[in-house]
Amino acid sequence: MSINHNDGPHSKDKLIDSVKTSLTDAEDLLREAASSTGDRAAELRERALVSLKRTREALYDAQDALVERSRKAARLTDDYVHDYPWQSIAAAGLTGLLIGLLLGRR
């Protein structure tokens, strides 16, 4: 269940679909294992565990990609603020003013 997390919103949809499918498969395998006995039940439980492990790894990969993108965004923001301090102050002030105006209308 390898997913490229750098291709935008479609990768998020792919990840969600993949996780849903994997969890459904594991659930079905466990349900079938519950009604089976012996080696068949053990095999089904093992397949369900493998499916859950793949799902967990995909979620960890997505988390790592999200953390890395967040770090890059924070680094870029920090660099911009240091390179253009007055523009950053003006943008923050304007944003605060607009939010204040919007909240004041309520």
pLDDT (mean) for 6-14: 69
* Amino acid letter for position 79: D
Name the residue with tokens 């924070």.
74
- Residue 8 has a pLDDT of 60
pLDDT(6) > 60 = no
Q: pTM of whole model > 0.85?
A: no
Q: Is 84 left (phi over 0), alpha (psi -120 to 50) or beta?
A: beta
pLDDT band at residue 9 using 50, 70 and 90 as cut-offs? low
- Residue 70 has a pLDDT of 96
- From residue 2, how far is each of 10, 59, 63 by CA, in Å? 14, 10, 13
Residues in the chain: 106
Tokens, residue 26: 């594991």
Taking each helix axis from N to C end, the angle separating 85-104 and 38-83, rounded to the nearest 10 degrees, works out to 110
Tens of pLDDT, residues 49-102: 888 888 888 889 889 999 999 999 999 999 999 999 999 999 999 999 999 999
Sign of CA dihedral 93, 97, 98, 103: positive
- 84/72 Cα distance (integer angstroms): 18
- Residue 71 has a pLDDT of 96
- Residue 7 has a pLDDT of 53
